[in-house]
Structure 1
Amino acid sequence: MSRRKSLVNTVADELLERIIAGDFLPGDPLPTEAEIGDEFDVSRVTVREALRTLSARGIVRVLSGVGSRVAPVEAWRSVPDALRYRAARGDDATVSEQLISTRRLIECEAAALAAPLISEVALGECEECVDSMVAASAKADVDAFVAADLRFHAVIMEASANLFLAVLLAPLTEVMAERRKQTSRVPQIQEHAIAEHRAIVAALRTGSSAAAREAMDHHLQQTLDDLHAYVLS
């Protein structure tokens, strides 16, 4: 990475941290390019590139002749950044609930599409993922448990043969990994997840879209119930 690129990222990351911390709220103007440059001891060219970086992610709006302002969070195009902002505002419970509801919209349909298409190889990989979850749970290896969980859902997404559903889910993957590491530390949640994943495989084996959709929906409802029972309570 070039020194210029490193400086651009440093300035962009620091400005984002301040926005997330609430130093600058949506609609607020950011300091001028000259002020930012003086603070970080960088050129205006570096500042402009940093602001363009934030603008490309929808976080900042650069208005010609006016300056830069923080965009409404609803306009942010980076899912992890938006979730970090919401969580920092004390909205963590709401964020978790909305994440599950978003997964429900995408993953239930993915399961329904996958059911009549999924191959024996893919079903076998799903079963291997469940076995890996069981082994990881026995060893209290949360990272391995989450990795197997995420791979299970990725196999179903691939089997759905719908590129657009995968594209919609992709920005949530990093967020889901971090959130599952938090919730999957609870033994009861691990137990429920293993049972739900087994039920999804059984539904997929029937080839029935309705059964697969129902099994995935039941799993995500169980996830929501566990969130309230073991994490948010």
Structure 2
Amino acid sequence: MSLESWQSRFEHWLHQSWPQDDKAHDVAHLKRVWYTARRIMRDTDANPLVVLTACYFHDVVNLPKNHPERHLASSKAAVETRRILQHEFPDFPTALYDAVAHAVQAHSFSAGITPQTLEAKIVQDADRLESLGAIGLARVFYTSGALGRPLFDSSDPLGKERELDDSRWTLDHFQKKLFTLPDTMQTPEGKRLAQHNSHFLVTFVAKLCAELQGDLCQLDESVLRDFTPRALKY
């Protein structure tokens, strides 16, 4: 069966059987992760069916960012993915179960699991790239809005005189996680894309900080100076 046929079947099942109110982790997100993974996978020996399947089921168990078991979500998703493949897609090759499950389990940032296979590295990179660039910017504010978090601490937006806390302030998440993502990428193409898209986020923060100081036309040069080297060190 072709990859396109598997993709169509997976999407049909998800639309019919996967109730998901989190629009930052919906079927459109899964599809984008697959397209990014497909780009990263070019000219590699990765098994495309493993990558495709892990991309489409990596969030099949998706706990809210503030859930106490958030770090266990990807392990639960790996177990659920096996169950779904066994019962809903009995013609899926059983020999690929372990590889798919590992890629699903290792994708999560909060789980802190090191990917051991090329397929898992590709899926992890592709999913993390969804947190960068324009899509990442939209998703972080969507998620924070859903959680009721304020945008930033107006008196100290960059947390220079306080401890960073992204469970309280949305902008803190850029320093706590997003600006660190290029250092975590597992593949050369993933790193290259992360460099480019994290630069976009640094520029956004520089523009935001300038506006908070009353300058609507420039960028805050101190933000570019302090954060661009971190985001573009490769």
Q: Which has the higher contact order (CA 8 A, sep 6+)?
A: 1
Q: TM-score, normalised by structure 1?
A: 0.31
- Higher helix proportion, which one? 1
**Length-normalised TM-score, structure 2:** 0.31
Larger radius of gyration: 1
